[in-house]
Structure 1
Amino acid sequence: MKKLLFIFLLALCTSEYSVAQLTYQHDVYFENHSSLLSDNNKKTIEQIYKKIPGNATQKINPLGKNEFKGNKFLTEINYTRAWNIMQFLKTIMSSNTSLFVDTFINQNSGTPFYGVLIKKAPIELEPNYSELKKLYRKNKRTFYINPTQNETITGIEGTVITFFANTMQCNDGKDVKGTVEISLTEYYTMADMVKAQLNTVSGPLLLESGGMILIKATCSSCREKEVKIKDGDFYKIAFPTEKIKPGMGLFTGNIDVNKNLIDWQAAEFIEDEIDLFESESTNEEDYILSEDPETGELIEVIRTKEEKQLYHTLNSKSFGWINCDRFIDTPIPSALASTVHSPVKQNHVVLVFNQLKSVLELYPDENGNYSAQNLPYGEKATLFSYSIANGKTYFGKKEITIGIQHSVEIHLEENPFESFQHFLSTL
């Protein structure tokens, strides 16, 4: 019974001095009627300080172990304890920390109670964009085709593209003379999309991707080098897939210079007899180019075709960013807000879904908070943030369910670059 009464009184005392707006609170206990900081007190305070994330506030309550709160003598000791805690903190704190003794009033007795407030501001390191670019390196494949005949090319990751004879011209409308150079970069995995900062959104609406490509066509005979498809003509793109998904369509990418992202717009539908096709089953071996997972170099490997390959096949009349997408049905659209605690000034904040091939990068408002709208309720997802500064990688993540967690805090901590790369490979 005495034990239960003690727990009740302890909870009551804690509630008297709690401050709702503070992010963290911690009690430091002194010997009765003493304001002397013991070695254990100092260790506790140092541990508390080290665990405070950037842009957060911590309150330390100096307490006696079995003292009655409220008389004048103990109020004076309480203030001295708070002052001694603050003086010790000054010997260990960094330049981004501010300290002061604040007064809280006991609601029952009306007597003051003193605590130490520690406010740690973000260190605000400058992000290293050259280091970040290492994440975005993606091998492309280059082809040389004859524009006067039908040509089919196959990308590193299996994209099959067919060009039809006499359907190309220079950007100024003149005929193409000579060989056309085609460069093709493919993005099929979530990791590749995140590294390249690719979104799967069309305006305010979320998309599910069946693969993205960046395709460019040039010819030395053209004044501006660039080549385009003639009006009324098109070329065919077959995106490899494990499963045919209804509703897939072709989207072209428009670059939003303000946010440095691609906004996907549904392309004009082009009628064709074949919407999708399957490759024939064969046991023949062929040689394909693949990326070495360790070096990133292109290597030739043997592939045995034992099963049929499925494709989403779409027609395009332009080059540039091309995406095979469909809109995600959101009968109950949900919102998400996020606060990021990081020592780096600028951070990438990304939302990826467990069951949908969708990537959404969030951007800060004027107050530095991140948000997203029109998200599919009930979908499980990972919200993560990362940055690189001073040769160090900072990373944090939260597993969430859309619509259940409306507000999420992410704390970035220093992590080995290899650990972050491994995380991306698991998406």
Structure 2
Amino acid sequence: MKATGKVFILGAVVFSAILFSCGSDADNKGKEGENKTDSLAQADVELMNAGKNGIAGVYQLISERLGPTKETFVIDQTKDSVITCAKGTKLFIEANSLVLEDGSAPKEKVTVEVQEFYSKKDFFAAQLATVSNGVMLESGGMVNVSATSGSQKLELGSGKEMAVLFPRSGNADQKDVFYGSKDSVGNMNWDQNPSSVNNSVDTSATKKEKRMITVYNTLEWFGVIENAIVVDKPPFDNDLAKVIQNFANHFDDNFKPSKKLVKEGLQNGTDFHATLKFDKSGKVSSVKFKPGDAVLQEEISGYLKKMPKIEIPGKEDKLSKCEYDFHFGRRTSQKASQVEAKDLSPFRKKVLKEISNAEVEYYVLSSANLGWINCDKFYNTPGEKTNFFVNTQGAEDTRVFLLFNDIKSGMNGGIVGSGRFSFPNLPVGYAVKVIAISTENGNPKLATAETKVSTSGYELQEFKSFSMDKLDQELGLLK
């Protein structure tokens, strides 16, 4: 029902383990949402109360108290509207492009609500990981956009687009639009396919978009294997984890998809899941796929079973007692070149006419959806990568978030054992800040550390009770 904002010639598969009132001639400067009048001291009382509801309750309060303010705008649905938000984001909404869920036009006034996320503090407060199906992203900003008419939700109509303009930060690197969705525990994932966030797609509106066509000339495969499901609960073993990662690296370096797989297995944006087991000899003994593409199952399963065996003397029993959870998803290649074409779609022409210097001062992205929208690029760096493990010494009901010092990127740690969290496929030697919060007996506690990504991981110590003011100060130190 909606249109994608880019034209992709060739995609790639991620092999990852996980596990936007007025008429067209004026900007609407929009008022900020309700002021946060309660003091942080009052929030501390609420913090203790939130702790009684576990870690989810604590992060809900953090998001409300320390997250960016929501802005509301009332627009005239019968005219093109340009919205300017507090942090610089601009939204171009075409006349009559917003509809009710049944496709009919709204009869009451239209209200658009926008929340902008540009700083690392924003990322942490909302737990916005910059990850696309397990692959690290560098963000140029994120927004969450919703629209209502009366009490009814609105969406973009069939074949309609919304332009989202993110301020450029001084560099001219290319960024693309990503659509976000959260899982049951609040972990954010970003995907370039709008259908990944449960919306159908009609690509007819963008078939004539030729201004920025991304040409991909290589098909890339990435692998991260992570001990995610444990049978009989053997103790976590760092040596075993390293050997498993080497196995994944071998897949990265050697697997070449057949033409059949490229043609048939990558035609849609479906995610694929599988569970992998090894026998005591170190060979892959089973690859169990959840419902997915038959070509993908046959080819990848066959290749994995033919890979060299894992040799880890004395730990064969541990190896065979673990299951390894895989999440397969499609993403675009990192090796891209931009092709300039003469023709512009009517929609893009309209955006560039209404917003002066748009392509100089902004990343101009076309979005097929409302909701979570990210201006990102895949972060690709040469050099060694590793599964970076953070040990919280068994702290229960804990979440760990990692932020890079020199990159606008962050991610949630995946639980791989009691108090142990994994951050897959990170560049070794990069400076990071680790922030962990737990609720010990309902009492919220905080632990932070400055460190570097290493193969040896990091022991996070000294969880202490904290105030919202203390957390606010800590987040204010982020670069």
Residue 433 of structure 2 aligns to a residue whose secondary structure is: strand
CA contact (8 A) 2:397 2:439 kept: no
Residue 334 of structure 1, aligned match among 361, 386, 396: 386
1:394 aligns with 2:445: yes
Residue 191 of structure 1, aligned match among 108, 118, 121: 121
Residue 146 of structure 2 aligns to a residue whose secondary structure is: strand
CA distance in 1, matches of 2:78, 2:172: 34
Whichever residue aligns with residue 252 of structure 1, its letter is Y
Residue 416 of structure 2 aligns to a residue whose secondary structure is: coil
RMSD of the alignment, in Å?
3.1
1:266 is matched with 192
Structure 2 length as normaliser, TM-score?
0.52
CA distance in 2, matches of 1:358, 1:320: 20
Whichever residue aligns with residue 340 of structure 1, its letter is T
Offset of residue 132 of structure 1: 3.8
Residue 191 of structure 1 aligns to a residue whose secondary structure is: helix
CA distance in 2, matches of 1:129, 1:235: 33
Residue 409 of structure 1, aligned match among 459, 466, 469: 459
Whichever residue aligns with residue 346 of structure 1, its letter is D
CA distance in 2, matches of 1:232, 1:248: 23
Structure 1 length as normaliser, TM-score?
0.57
CA distance in 2, matches of 1:132, 1:230: 34
1:212 aligns with 2:139: no
Residue 364 of structure 1 aligns to a residue whose secondary structure is: strand
Residue 373 of structure 2 aligns to a residue whose secondary structure is: strand
Residue 86 of structure 2, aligned match among 147, 152, 156: 156
CA distance in 2, matches of 1:219, 1:384: 39
1:225 is matched with 152
2:18 is matched with none
User: Unaligned regions of 5+ residues in structure 1, if any?
Assistant: 1-123, 282-307
CA contact (8 A) 1:392 1:416 kept: no
CA distance in 2, matches of 1:365, 1:241: 38
1:169 is matched with 99
1:108 is matched with none
2:340 is matched with none
Higher helix share: 2
1:317 aligns with 2:363: no
Offset of residue 180 of structure 1: 1.2
1:422 aligns with 2:476: no
Offset of residue 265 of structure 1: 0.3
Stretch of structure 1 that moved more, 324-333 or 410-419: 410-419
Residue 61 of structure 2, aligned match among 128, 131, 134: 134
Count of residue correspondences: 272
- Answer 1 or 2: higher relative contact order, Cα 8 Å, separation at least 6: 2
CA distance in 1, matches of 2:437, 2:143: 25
Offset of residue 389 of structure 1: 5.4
Residue 380 of structure 1, aligned match among 394, 406, 431: 431
Whichever residue aligns with residue 420 of structure 1, its letter is L
2:178 is matched with 251
CA contact (8 A) 1:341 1:412 kept: no
Higher strand share: 1
Deviations, residues 23-70 of structure 1 (Å, cap 9, x unaligned): xxxxxxxxxxxxxxxxxxxxxxxxxxxxxxxxxxxxxxxxxxxxxxxx
Residue 411 of structure 1 aligns to a residue whose secondary structure is: coil
Deviations, residues 105-148 of structure 1 (Å, cap 9, x unaligned): xxxxxxxxxxxxxxxxxxx9984654443311142011111111
CA contact (8 A) 1:384 1:410 kept: no
Residue 472 of structure 2 aligns to a residue whose secondary structure is: helix
1:178 is matched with 108
Offset of residue 375 of structure 1: 1.0
CA contact (8 A) 2:58 2:444 kept: no
Deviations, residues 338-376 of structure 1 (Å, cap 9, x unaligned): 21036x521221111011100111021244421121212
Report which of the two structures shows the higher radius of gyration computed on alpha carbons.
1
CA distance in 2, matches of 1:366, 1:392: 22
User: Unaligned regions of 5+ residues in structure 2, if any?
Assistant: 1-50, 195-202, 212-343
CA contact (8 A) 2:386 2:455 kept: no
Offset of residue 157 of structure 1: 1.6
